[in-house]
Structure 1
């Protein structure tokens, strides 16, 4: 019995999986802000899962955590988790001491990549492209996560594709994230809707020219991210998740149209058949929490 926690900027999704990777219990709760509150959120989620499983907290085999920010290889320390108001926190060490089990920590998108690979039964190579407030990817090869030498493999959102483009939060200009992320799109669209990108898509469906232009830009920006993945790691398939994936087939169509449009002008791109290698994560699937539980195993990554 292994615990997986997906600690997000607003919500924490927590699961217990069995030896076959099947979800046995699941709870969701609000995430606290700041180091102490993040630790308290994790402890509370683990405690609730233990109660559901009818066992003490230290009865679990392991705890794995997916969290935004930078996670140093082989440590449980997370840094620069800005949307959690966490600058530096030894989350794994603190939880291991308080819970009494092995705790391993990974970046949330990388954890989600492991979860997607497991859920879809991928046997080759897979990239998980997260389209949420930001944009990032995780790469899984043969069931194991590729982290790279410094743990930043997959941070393609901060590849600059337009040096004269908009300023990115990372300090560069024209990063892919400024073209194809929910945060960038919401800022461009404006308004006070709870779900601005959904409002934008609805407006585009009604023929609003500005909305259509922004929706098209999202498609082209995501297509650029997919080409970067194809031309650098050449994975067998790309699974798109994150908040924008909730748009379902509406998003898939925009991305596929952008890929087909680019391939029509390039025999080289046409030969890659990217439009056939992309799918959305199954709706409602807690891939990040499942992946976090797999992170707890500690033997599923390179680098």
Structure 2
């Protein structure tokens, strides 16, 4: 039995998977804010899954955790702003509390491994996470490809408009400024806690401004797909993250842009970009399952 935990900005998802990779147990709990609270959240998740499976922490084959921010090979987490973490030796803290080693991985990378497993994919895949930000995790024949310094897939910070909005990374016009939840929220002011939902509703009602922002969103996501295929030539691009809950409404918009580009470019047409793009199944605990799988790597 392997244990995986996905620590998100507000919710933590924890699962136990069996030897065949099947889901045995799953729980969800609120995520604490700040170093001490995040550690307590992880310890609580291990304890509760342990109660359900009848196993102590040492009884699991491996324990893995996916978490936002930059994650070093030693399990140090930094720049996880939404969790209140500027720097935390998470692997060390948990090893001390649990008495066993814990593998820490960036949450998008963990979700990439989980999606690859859940969707029974092979070859190469890019998991395009569309949430508050935009980033990708790349899997090659079942294994994560992190790059020389662990930033492979950080395509959200590729500038596409030198005169565009200032990005949190310090550059202007990055993909993330148009093709993400935060990018939509900046352009579409609303009281709805989910601005993208409000945007799509207004666009469906014929609001010209909403339609323009919605079109930029689709173009940005399509651009992300194009970058991933042109740089890594992945067999498939799986769209996940909060925006993926829009389902076929979002996917159809992206396909429409890719089809338009293919009509104008025989080269892009030869890449069959629309056929490579798919959505993560709704409700899939991809990041938690991926964390369980990377825990033993």
After TM superposition, the score normalised by the length of structure 2 is: 0.99
Aligned ranges 1:250-269 → 2 under 5 Å: 250-269=249-268
Quote how far apart the aligned CAs of 1:227 are. 0.7
Aligned ranges 1:153-164 → 2 under 5 Å: 153-164=152-163
Quote how far apart the aligned CAs of 1:91 are. 0.5
Per-residue deviation, residues 193-242 of structure 1 (Å, max 9, x unmatched): 02110111011111111111111100000011111101100000000000
Quote how far apart the aligned CAs of 1:120 are. 1.1
Structure 1 unmatched runs, 5+: 299-303
Quote how far apart the aligned CAs of 1:267 are. 1.0
Aligned length: 297
Per-residue deviation, residues 50-97 of structure 1 (Å, max 9, x unmatched): 00111222211211010000011x211111111111001111111122
Per-residue deviation, residues 152-198 of structure 1 (Å, max 9, x unmatched): 10000001111111100000001000110011101211111021101
Quote how far apart the aligned CAs of 1:101 are. 2.0
- CA distance in structure 1 between the partners assigned to 2:212 and 2:162 by the alignment: 21
Q: Is 1:84 equivalent to 2:83 in the alignment? A: yes
In the alignment, is the contact (CA less than 8 A) between 1:60 and 1:101 conserved in 2?
A: no
Q: Is 1:183 equivalent to 2:174 in the alignment? A: no
In structure 2, the residue matched to 1:286 is 285
In the alignment, is the contact (CA less than 8 A) between 1:126 and 1:141 conserved in 2?
A: yes
- CA distance in structure 2 between the partners assigned to 1:149 and 1:94 by the alignment: 26
In structure 1, the residue matched to 2:9 is 9
In structure 2, the residue matched to 1:95 is 94
- CA distance in structure 2 between the partners assigned to 1:68 and 1:56 by the alignment: 26
In the alignment, is the contact (CA less than 8 A) between 2:155 and 2:175 conserved in 1?
A: yes
In structure 1, the residue matched to 2:36 is 36
- CA distance in structure 1 between the partners assigned to 2:113 and 2:175 by the alignment: 23
In structure 2, the residue matched to 1:27 is 27
Quote how far apart the aligned CAs of 1:256 are. 0.6
Quote how far apart the aligned CAs of 1:122 are. 1.3
- CA distance in structure 2 between the partners assigned to 1:57 and 1:107 by the alignment: 22
- CA distance in structure 1 between the partners assigned to 2:32 and 2:289 by the alignment: 21
Question: What's the secondary structure of 2:102's corresponding residue?
Answer: strand
Structure 2 unmatched runs, 5+: none
Single out whichever of 107-116 and 194-203 deviates more from structure 2.
Answer: 194-203
Quote how far apart the aligned CAs of 1:277 are. 0.4
Single out whichever of 213-222 and 54-63 deviates more from structure 2.
Answer: 54-63
- CA distance in structure 2 between the partners assigned to 1:88 and 1:120 by the alignment: 34
Aligned ranges 1:153-302 → 2 under 5 Å: 153-298=152-297
Per-residue deviation, residues 122-177 of structure 1 (Å, max 9, x unmatched): 11000000000000000000000000111110000001111111100000001000
After TM superposition, the score normalised by the length of structure 1 is: 0.97
In structure 2, the residue matched to 1:301 is none
- CA distance in structure 1 between the partners assigned to 2:195 and 2:177 by the alignment: 16
